[in-house]
Amino acid sequence: MAKSKVTQEDLDAAADEKSEFDETLKAAGADGEYWAKLLIELSKAKEIKAQIPKGKNEFVYSKLMPALDIRVRVQDIAHRLRGDYKAEKREHMGSLTLEEIIKSQDKEEGK
pLDDT in tens, 43-89: 899 998 887 888 777 777 788 899 999 999 998 888 887 777 776 77
**What is the tens place of the pLDDT at every residue in 14-37?**
777 777 777 777 888 877 788 888
Residues 62 and 50 sit within 8 Å (Cβ to Cβ): yes
Query: How far apart (Å, rounded) are the C-alpha atoms in residues 30 and 39?
Result: 12
pTM of the model: 0.47
The residues spanned by each domain of the chain are 36-83
Distance in angstroms between the alpha carbons of the first and the last residue of the chain: 25
